[in-house]
Chain A
């Protein structure tokens, strides 16, 4: 597979860049595998990579309906963090953060991982107390968190609208290890790494059904023929309900559209990631200079991969309230991704009632940061048939038993999580 060096760069520069080779093998499906992973997004590719690298299972196919990098792994706002509150969530996101920290060395690919810090602003005494509690929960779990007062935030970001009459900035909760990653490189790096270990990556291969014999999965049907498999793993967040329905399941999930935005390239102005605490708005600046920002989901069921204008207006109002200086930046693009909104706002990594069929779903709008941890723990579950210690709470039956993991305490209303 393609490797990069100063020598290869020079050689290709002198020969019109005609010598570059594909980074991974784009294969046709074979008839049988030990494990078939449905979904070639970030989580599916990471699962295949860790199955091969950590658990020695290399007879694996990743089946992707579209093309690698075309789904949510290329549609998110690239932020990584582990600033959660609940003990069910914290271990997974911190495992993920630790994997991010070593990822480029691990899969030998430049993912431009930048731990530039994630700052959640607070605007009231009550919100400060809530963030102090969250920061304490993080530190109990060995995660870095610092509660900043107004002066400390002012030193970091002097241009914020500190003295706004309605929502003055009082301070913030800072996770310095949080930051951003080049999301496309995550897909490419995992794809190349998995492919190097012998995993087949099959694009344009939509799964149309599961072969289930006496309660046990025996393979999948696809538009490119039937494939036998000892185990099948679903990692298709956004479309989980539709795929699970082919195995006779109804899920505690609704599909919603989440929009994101990027402006024209500007000189460096925002060194880290900032979130507004009085509305839903978050922003960072890409290495190319564009301001990358987003906010709430649109709030109604959607598979359309595009949203509506009320949310565009709401997000831009949040940005203007927080940092009026960005008002003259022109928005270049906006787009939408379809996310699995689960009934408690937390993901599902579990077995299913069908033996040998595994489910990774319900990532809401926070799936990107979890990519390495999700892949690692899902691979563990598939290989060992027992949950990874960092992902024991993400059970499919927790809604039935009452063990929900509801960070916001909103209840079973997916568009409010």
Chain B
């Protein structure tokens, strides 16, 4: 499997570290309407775990040290897209 790093180009997957599902969002505990226990449980533990397209975090640890959002088909390992992490959008 090769991952198209937006900065370095196509690189072997061995250069990257995997964090997992990029859809999880840390709940806002400043919002008094949030049931923070339930929201944190959901954020920390529960996953969609789809068979198909999944957006996920990869870190180019042996390369440019960028965090990358890779969209990949978990049934075939085919990579659909790879973009630099937009830190604001993924907070």
Contact = CB atoms under 8 A, between A and B. Distances in A.
A253 B75 contact: no
Interface residues of B, number: 24
Contacts of B47: 241, 250-254
Q: Among A242, A303, A308, which residue has the most Cβ atoms of chain B within 10 A? A: A303
Contact of A308 (B20, B42, B54, B77): B77
B12 A251 contact: no
A210 to B, nearest CB: 18
A264 B90 CA distance: 49
Contacts of B44: 343, 399, 412
B1 interface: yes
A299 B16 CA distance: 11
Interface in B1-50: 1, 12-14, 18, 20-21, 41-42, 44-50
Contacts of A245: 48
A379 B14 CA distance: 42
Q: Among A252, A253, A300, which residue has the most Cβ atoms of chain B within 10 A? A: A300
B77 A251 contact: no
A299 B21 CA distance: 12
Contacts of A310: 12-14
Contacts of A286: none
A400 B41 contact: yes
B18 A300 contact: yes
Q: Among B14, B46, B50, B76, which residue has the most Cβ atoms of chain A within 10 A? A: B46
Nearest to A255: B49
Interface string B42-86: 101111111100101000000000000000101111000000000
A387 B18 CA distance: 36
Contacts of A415: 18, 20
A239 B50 CA distance: 10
A308 B1 contact: yes
Contacts of B48: 241, 245, 250
A310 B61 CA distance: 15
A413 to B, nearest CB: 7
B56 A241 contact: no
Nearest to A241: B49
Residues of A in contact with B, size category:
20 to 34
B74 A255 contact: yes
A301 B74 contact: yes
Interface in A229-286: 239, 241-242, 245, 250-255
A414 interface: yes
B41 to A, nearest CB: 5
A304 interface: yes
A303 B74 contact: yes
A415 B47 CA distance: 13
Contacts of A303: 51, 74-75
A252 B46 contact: yes
A161 interface: no
A250 B46 CA distance: 6
A414 to B, nearest CB: 7
A302 interface: yes
B45 A301 contact: no
Nearest to A411: B44
A239 B52 CA distance: 13
A308 B79 CA distance: 14
A175 B73 CA distance: 41
B45 A412 contact: yes
Contacts of B54: 301
B40 to A, nearest CB: 10
Nearest to B15: A310
B49 to A, nearest CB: 4
A76 B40 CA distance: 35
21 contacts: A241-B48, A241-B49, A242-B51, A245-B48, A250-B42, A251-B49, A253-B49, A254-B47, A254-B49, A255-B49, A255-B74, A300-B56, A301-B20, A302-B74, A308-B13, A313-B14, A399-B44, A400-B41, A412-B44, A414-B20, A415-B20
Pairs of residues from A and B, 6 with the lowest C-beta to C-beta distance, nearest first:
A241-B49, A310-B14, A252-B45, A399-B45, A250-B46, A303-B51
Given A309-B14, A399-B45, A412-B45, 17 more contacts: A241-B48, A250-B42, A251-B47, A252-B47, A254-B21, A254-B49, A300-B13, A303-B74, A303-B75, A308-B13, A308-B77, A310-B12, A313-B14, A343-B45, A399-B41, A400-B45, A415-B20
Interface of A: 239, 241-242, 245, 250-255, 299-304, 308-310, 313, 343, 399-400, 412-415
Interface of B: 1, 12-14, 18, 20-21, 41-42, 44-51, 54, 56, 72, 74-77
